[in-house]
Structure 1
Amino acid sequence: MTGSYRGLTWDHPRGTVALRAAVDEPAAPVVDLIWDAQPLEGFESASVAENAAAYDLLVLDHPHLGEALRTEALRPLDELFTAAEVEGWRARAVGPSFASYELDGRAWALPLDAATQVSALADPGIEAPTTWAEALELASDVDTVLPLTGPHLFLTLCSIAVGEGVEPGAGPTFLPEPAVADAMAVLERFVPGAHATETHNPITVLEDMARQGGPVYCPHVYGYVTYSRPAIGRRPVRFVDAPAGTSGRRGSVLGGTGIAVSRRCEPDAALLDHLRWLMDDRTQRTFIPRRDGQPSVVAAWEDDEVDAAALGFYSRTRRTVEDAWVRPRHDGAIAFQSAAADRVRAALLGHSDPARLSRELDELHHRHRPDPAIQERP
């Protein structure tokens, strides 16, 4: 008799359909598992420690790892799987998807889903910009939108800096004033004061783009393969690589999700086999993408049938995933991300002072990083 388990994922078809369907899939190892879902905003900012106290499995974002390590909320993968299995998942993951869940010398989650910020177009007649200069030119001619809520303006600011060859947090300041000034100059063109009250997260942005008469261009939004396919009453959204900076790098901040096992969970062989099945190359190439999922393994991203079914989503955004920057994962990273996003909004919609914003981001970065003992490295 297998154990009974409860998991928490995020409330979108990409986060729920495949996981719930796998529980009833005849080809999958049998497990007694129920998946609950939380809104995107909870997924981005809710306490991983509190969720881990209530659930056996968590679908989480990698910036939560610092809190998870401090509170001992999760079981490391090497307690559950062999070294060969862990190394295999690391080798088969697209871009830094697996590496983003490695912290303090151990891996803490299985990268079920891979995503990063890319560009989106809802008009097949529009040529996709390849640089931010081209993006600004297009935005002056067509109805353009950008995610404004949650962490997203801050993440796009970081992405523009990454494209210019500046790694956030790698120097004496989190982002030097010249990098902030350059990024603000771009963002101010997309975020005029008239739109200050809009409440767009990536899902609502893509919903708007998918409806007839909605915006036709978004230069920077997390890619959702579910919107790349046509549906009744909805037009398909074409996803392409994010704009490149002068460094040639496609500036973007890694997203995606990982499945972690909470410390409260005592997984039996059936649950571990079920997780192995979800991460299997065949499952990731067939079962996951056929049920609104967005696979994380290279084999799926390079599969011609998977790519064709998604109207080129994978081949047109692969370079950006490979180039993506991994966010801070220290304890306090979520609080830093939220506070930094508030400062970026205040700058773009108010004081427009790059020097002030650079100082504020640096102060926040130091304030929300209390424990240097946990190293942000594999």
Structure 2
Amino acid sequence: MSGPEYRGLTWDHPRGHNALAAAAAQAGGLSLTWDKHPLEGFESHPIGDLCARYDLVVLDHPHVGEAVAADCLVPIEDLFGADEIAGWRNAVAGPSLASYHYAGRHWALPLDAATQVMAYRREAIALPPLEWAQLPAFAEDHAVALSLAGPHAILSFQSICGALGFEAVAPRDAFMDRAIAREAYALMAALTGELTRRAQALNPIAMLGAIERGEGIDLCPLIYGYVNYATRGVGFANAPAGPGGRIGSTLGGTGIGVSKRCQVTPALLGHLRWLMSEPVQCGFIPQQDGQPALRPAWQDDAVNIATGGFFAATLATVEAALLRPRHDGAIAFQTAASTRLRAALLDGAAADPVLDDLEILYRMHHPAGAET
């Protein structure tokens, strides 16, 4: 086999690895090996360091500002034509491609679409609540836990603020509207009971595994959806709505970025096009434990039958999903803000001092007037 020997880095879950590895194994004329790292490394490791060691890097959209500052990724516009990019923009579910657009360019191809949805144990709950206003009373009679580990405390907070009416207009120098933030904090505080305290260290994979096994958690109102659990006793539904039926959820998913160390060849570009094609997104990727990004796959009857209706049940949430801050410093803010918010919720702290600190952290990690 001639040509470069490419190395890629993805995350160590069947959803993140299996389809990429299987696709590379059958890619004639292309030598591509995928390494794996843990979910926590995927969420927080410096993108510049990863791009210095790998040709292809799976990333999520909060890393793009850091990547632009480090000048470590090749813009998608330098690899593919405007018509192709426009086609993907129209085909993906929700803002999956838009999430990688920053400083006038796209920095990754959205291979995988995901957002925070509601997850529940089918054996315990027949009909999950539809609105945030119902959750505190529902939690009095059901085993409800929030997802607070790692960055997820602040991501859930952002999502609840979105459901309650917050509009993130860029550029912005304040993190949240204070009145809405108080209401969101009160909801999270009401749901931070003994079960949430016991589950505080569980990342989404561990939380969904606990729901699957019946280990005391029957519902999590906001957690990143993993199709892999939808046929294992875990039900998924749209994220809870706020006033007027507004769904609040913060986009996740992953994209493939091409590092500046990569020797780009027609064979590599052809492989990336193949991964993004509708037949592959509707067939090969879901058949290999993946979670496709194209809307037709989420709407496909066969894909939904095979996955317990996961995609159809949560598509409205993906389509309405909010973007996280993506400026250089967004990951540091996300980490610090989540740590502060989680500790405050577990300690039963009053809202305003916590919200003051979140604004201070946002300004500390976000230069005034910078792109969000």
TM-score by length of 2: 0.95
RMSD across aligned positions (CA): 1.7
Percent identity at matched positions? 47
CA distance, structure 2, for counterparts of residue 350 and residue 58 of structure 1: 38
1:349 to 2:359 alignment:
no
How many angstroms does 1:145 deviate by?
Answer: 2.3
How many angstroms does 1:303 deviate by?
Answer: 0.7
Aligned to 2:117: 118
How many angstroms does 1:29 deviate by?
Answer: 4.9
Residue 206 (structure 2) aligned to one of 180, 204, 207: 204
How many angstroms does 1:87 deviate by?
Answer: 1.3
Task: Name the aligned partner's letter for residue 50 of structure 1.
Answer: D
**Contact 1:156-1:220 within 8 A present in 2 as well:** yes
CA distance, structure 1, for counterparts of residue 105 and residue 25 of structure 2: 32
Cα shift readout 1:205-236 (whole Å, capped 9, x = no counterpart): 00101114542211110000000013xxxxx2
Which consecutive segments of 4 or more residues in structure 1 shift more than 3 A?
168-172, 193-198, 370-373
**Contact 1:158-1:168 within 8 A present in 2 as well:** no
Specify every segment of 5 or more residues in structure 1 that has no aligned partner in the other structure, as ranges.
Answer: 231-235
1:240 to 2:241 alignment:
no
SS at 2:148 equivalent: coil
How many angstroms does 1:52 deviate by?
Answer: 0.4
CA distance, structure 2, for counterparts of residue 350 and residue 143 of structure 1: 20
Residues 26-65 of structure 1 aligned to structure 2 (within 5 Å):
28-65=27-64
Task: Name the aligned partner's letter for residue 161 of structure 2.
Answer: A
**Contact 2:143-2:195 within 8 A present in 1 as well:** no
1:216 to 2:218 alignment:
yes
CA distance, structure 1, for counterparts of residue 48 and residue 120 of structure 2: 38
CA distance, structure 2, for counterparts of residue 120 and residue 350 of structure 1: 26
**Contact 2:60-2:252 within 8 A present in 1 as well:** yes
SS at 2:284 equivalent: coil
Aligned to 1:141: 141
CA distance, structure 2, for counterparts of residue 60 and residue 347 of structure 1: 29
SS at 1:276 equivalent: helix
SS at 2:141 equivalent: coil
Aligned to 2:102: 103
Cα shift readout 1:112-142 (whole Å, capped 9, x = no counterpart): 0000000011125421211012222222212
Cα shift readout 1:131-177 (whole Å, capped 9, x = no counterpart): 01222222221222222210111111111110011135766631133
**Contact 2:239-2:248 within 8 A present in 1 as well:** yes
Task: Name the aligned partner's letter for residue 208 of structure 1.
Answer: A
Task: Name the aligned partner's letter for residue 187 of structure 1.
Answer: M
SS at 1:218 equivalent: strand
CA gap 1:214/1:30 in 2 versus in 1, 3 angstroms: farther
CA distance, structure 2, for counterparts of residue 113 and residue 362 of structure 1: 31
CA distance, structure 2, for counterparts of residue 174 and residue 357 of structure 1: 13
Deviation larger for 152-161 or 342-351: 342-351
Aligned to 2:90: 91
CA distance, structure 2, for counterparts of residue 99 and residue 365 of structure 1: 22
CA distance, structure 2, for counterparts of residue 41 and residue 213 of structure 1: 23
Aligned to 1:71: 70
Aligned to 1:165: 165
Deviation larger for 359-368 or 37-46: 359-368
Aligned to 1:370: 367
TM-score by length of 1: 0.93
**Contact 1:114-1:255 within 8 A present in 2 as well:** yes
Aligned to 2:7: 6
CA distance, structure 2, for counterparts of residue 23 and residue 194 of structure 1: 42
Aligned to 2:301: 304
How many angstroms does 1:242 deviate by?
Answer: 0.3
Cα shift readout 1:76-123 (whole Å, capped 9, x = no counterpart): 011111111111111111100000000111111000000000001112
Aligned to 2:23: 22
**Contact 1:174-1:358 within 8 A present in 2 as well:** no
SS at 2:57 equivalent: strand
Deviation larger for 346-355 or 290-299: 346-355
Task: Name the aligned partner's letter for residue 285 of structure 1.
Answer: C
CA distance, structure 2, for counterparts of residue 142 and residue 370 of structure 1: 43
Aligned length, in residue pairs: 368
